[in-house]
Amino acid sequence: MSPEQQVQIHTTQVGESGSPVVFLHGLFGQGKNFSTIAKALQPDFRSLLVDLPNHGRSSWTERVDYTEHADLVAEHLRTGPAAEEPVHLVGHSMGGKVAMVLALQHPALVDRLVVADISPVPGGSTTEFAHLLDSLAELDLTDLSRRGEADDRLADRIQDARVRGFLLQNLRPDGEGFRWQANLDLLRRDLPAIGGFPELPDAVFDGPVLWMAGERSDYVRPEHVPEMRRLFPRTTQLTIKGAGHWVHSEAPETFVSALRTFLGGADR
């Protein structure tokens, strides 16, 4: 791969002091989705908000591959916040899978790992995400004059206004029109890979791990626990009451409190 083709990872730092915490967002997201959480962790922690490949202002890739994406993020961390000390790594959903693979493949870079509402197993349901991707891809942008029109047109297919607002963060002005910032075509094509998880038979991360799950979500199930504990033997599980899949946005105060307690606690 030539320098011109190298994947660039875009990040934003929040805070100047404290231990480094790196946040990896989920499908359709961007690093800035964790801005409120990162600000709430100051001044004890400084945060790095990562745009994963094919999202936000990071480069697009030719395929979705958790192993490759984890390597890309690891290389960025190795020359940045993890150059002098390991980082705390927090990942939600798709970002949680990248975080898990990164910790398994590059354990020296990670002090503590937090996984939010996802499991290290393939075969999770992607029906909801397929519907959302189809809805965005089929939205005609050619005659769109303002973002509000896109929201109106999506309302019949995506009835939750909060979800529409989250998705429409990916809509960017482009000249006199609009474009999608996320690589929708690739994400639609590789949705089975997004729902999968790579086989890493000999890998184990023996650092402390906090596994947070939403009470109303089914992405972390009892049958997933044996594989979770095989790969991450020092796991503590926490279920956030009343929360669904987007635990950090649905229960931000509980999420921040759990992070502070876990990241600031003594080694176990």
pTM of the model: 0.93
Annotated catalytic residues are 93, 185, 245
23 close to 102: Cβ distance less than 8 angstroms: no
Rounded distance, CA 171 to CA 174, Å?
9
Percentage of residues in the chain having pLDDT higher than 90: 84
Reference 113, options 211, 18, 8; nearest CA is 211
pLDDT value at residue 5: 54
- Residue ranges of alpha helices (H) inside 79-180 are 94-105, 127-137, 147-154, 161-167
Between strands 171-174 and 177-180, the pairing is antiparallel
What is 3-122+199-263's CATH superfamily?
A: Alpha/Beta hydrolase fold, catalytic domain (3.40.50.1820)
pLDDT tens digits for range 56-112: 999 999 999 999 999 999 999 999 988 989 999 999 999 999 999 999 999 999 999
Domain boundaries along the sequence of the chain? 3-122+199-263, 127-189
